[in-house]
Structure 1
Amino acid sequence: MQHRVDLQIDIEQFQNELFNELDLKTYAVIDGAQVSELQAKLSASKHSYVCLWSGELDSDLKQVAPYLVQLKRDSNFTLWLLENGWANNWNIFVSAKSSIKMVRKHLRKFLTVVTDDGETLIFRFYDPRIMKAFMRNIDGQQSQQLFQDIVAFRYENPLERELVSVKKISDELIFRQVAMN
């Protein structure tokens, strides 16, 4: 017998959590490789967005690149993202006071990592599964760098039906699990 897990969430509750601090901007970092229709949705939206990768990208790379999008609480794009992205590992959320240009500049610093062997690898921090593991193992220097221009990172934990919010207060990371009933 198969059991199906209900992964539906309350969208209004989700919005309240993401947009609860009026002095902050809410961004999504969306993985184009996970969302086949992302380019069309971005083009049709009235949102500010920018690719995290730099330079001229061919059409294939544009399709799989990560995008930083400034969200608007009740827009069609935001509702589409919240309704369809949950439990599909499409994105993480970022809260910041900074402009999209400054947030992009900051987040670009984390697109690659260098292994102990000196190999440079792509670091897909915008995948909620990777962000979850990274946040649980981050050291003090890494958290200082990561939260330099960011107030909070949020990512899904769909099997527990929760949105995880991570903030840095003083030198401590504060994790808050918000039930998404």
Structure 2
Amino acid sequence: MELQSVPTLDVSSKTDIEPLDFQYGVKDKLTVPVSLESYFSQQRLNTYVLIDAASLERFHDLLSLIDTEYEILLGDSIKEDYKSVATYLFDLKRSKELLTWLFTEGEGDKKPSWCLADRSVGVFLQSEFELDELAYFFKKFTRLRDKQDKWRYFRFADSKFFSFMLEEMMGEPEYCSRWFYSTNKQMIENYSIYEYDTRLFKTFKATSKLQAYQPKQKPLIFDDYYQGLSDRYTDKLFSQKMVGIIKDDFSQYYDGDNYDGNNKELTDFIVKSNHISRQLGLKSEQARGYFIAASVFVGRTLDKEDLASVGFYASAMEHENRKTKKLLEQVINNIKRRSLEHGH
């Protein structure tokens, strides 16, 4: 196990965690992958999982199969109306079946609704407290007021976002402490995420230093910090998507040698180009995608003169989509022309 010490959180990672298969015909079936048995068999702590219903198709078909106690993290007045997109808190010590499903990988095209490992759902957590006490603790995160005093639904239970959020909060203990501590008591011992793509099981545990920030916790509102978190995560997903699009859909125009085959270098370039595209007034994801692809193929981040060359003059979505597409087409045509000139 690899352990990284940080001022407010200890982050440990177990590697090479292969998901379970259907285990047909196996006499002694595993509940979880062998290397995680010690984590999930602790007697002192209760183990739970947060699941965002909106992240799963046919969630309520799955819910009907689950035989365990759970709480919907919404107030009673709106619970019924929003239960199909709400965040749920499940008690895992009372349902080995659900725990196994969270680590079971589907087979073939038609995957049963209970094969959840490859869908990257669920934020695991351990605590000394009971289900109802933890539900009360988490409900305050579900709906936050913003600076304009309007309610915002905060979809924190997406496992990849939650991991990103805690990593970002390592340097912001006034925010981080809220996810572990309530008034005068530690509610959460640790959070864990199973990353199916990387086969990592990451655990975030509060250090003693984090407790010192409990009295200094920031007011729980959807402020600029939380908005910034959401924006950076959205940009991260967009950048990852653009790497795939460029390497797959535009492979004939993409010169990987410029980035030494290094995804990180390409990703960093895309992040920079995305930032510049926003500064230049491109608002739609489609327009920024065209701009980024053109920049990658040219080998530099384009600028406002490049946009002006195709008649970009406003940020109306339809206009910016059309003009940035024209810019990309010009770049591709130039690549084709150079290729013909050199006899390729």
Q: TM-score, normalised by structure 2?
A: 0.44
How far did residue 25 of structure 1 move?
0.7
1:32 has 2:53 as partner: yes
The amino acid of 1:9's aligned partner reads P
**Cα 1:67/1:74, change in 2 over 3 Å:** closer
1:141 has 2:174 as partner: yes
Q: Tell me the secondary structure at the aligned position of residue 82 of structure 1.
A: coil
Post-superposition CA distance 1:61-118 (Å, at most 9, x none): 2222111000137722222232122242322111111000000111112223455565
Give the Cα–Cα distance (whole angstroms) in 1 for the partners of residues 45 and 87 of structure 2: 22
Relative contact order higher in (CA < 8 Å, ≥ 6 apart): 1
Q: State the identity %.
A: 20
8 A contact 1:18–1:26 mirrored in 2: no
Which protein has the larger Cα radius of gyration, Structure 1 or Structure 2? 2
**Cα 1:44/1:113, change in 2 over 3 Å:** same
Q: Tell me the secondary structure at the aligned position of residue 37 of structure 2.
A: helix
1:121 has 2:159 as partner: no
Moved more, 80-89 or 157-166: 80-89
The total of aligned residue pairs comes to 168
Moved more, 131-140 or 38-47: 38-47
**Cα 1:40/1:57, change in 2 over 3 Å:** farther
How far did residue 152 of structure 1 move?
0.6
Q: In the alignment, what sits opposite 2:323?
A: none
How far did residue 53 of structure 1 move?
1.1
Q: In the alignment, what sits opposite 2:84?
A: 63
Give the Cα–Cα distance (whole angstroms) in 2 for the partners of residues 69 and 18 of structure 1: 17
**Equivalent residue in structure 1 for 2:19, among 5, 9, 24:** 9
Post-superposition CA distance 1:114-165 (Å, at most 9, x none): 5556554322221112111210121112222211101011112222210110
Larger fraction in helix: 2
Moved more, 21-30 or 114-123: 114-123
Q: Tell me the secondary structure at the aligned position of residue 159 of structure 1.
A: coil
**Equivalent residue in structure 2 for 1:159, among 197, 204, 207:** 197
How far did residue 28 of structure 1 move?
0.8
Q: In the alignment, what sits opposite 2:116?
A: 85
**Cα 1:43/1:123, change in 2 over 3 Å:** same
How far did residue 59 of structure 1 move?
6.0
Moved more, 79-88 or 116-125: 116-125
Provide structure 2 residue ranges, at least 5 long, that are not aligned to the other structure.
1-16, 21-31, 105-114, 182-186, 212-344
8 A contact 2:18–2:33 mirrored in 1: no
Give the Cα–Cα distance (whole angstroms) in 1 for the partners of residues 133 and 79 of structure 2: 25
Give the Cα–Cα distance (whole angstroms) in 2 for the partners of residues 9 and 29 of structure 1: 19
8 A contact 1:128–1:155 mirrored in 2: yes
**Cα 1:56/1:154, change in 2 over 3 Å:** same
Provide structure 1 residue ranges, at least 5 long, that are not aligned to the other structure.
1-6, 174-181
1:72 has 2:96 as partner: no
Q: TM-score, normalised by structure 1?
A: 0.78
Give the Cα–Cα distance (whole angstroms) in 2 for the partners of residues 58 and 170 of structure 1: 36
How far did residue 166 of structure 1 move?
0.4
Give the Cα–Cα distance (whole angstroms) in 1 for the partners of residues 158 and 124 of structure 2: 10
8 A contact 2:120–2:196 mirrored in 1: no
Q: In the alignment, what sits opposite 2:291?
A: none
Post-superposition CA distance 1:14-68 (Å, at most 9, x none): 6515414211111011111122333233333321101011224476622221110
The amino acid of 1:43's aligned partner reads S
8 A contact 1:15–1:73 mirrored in 2: no
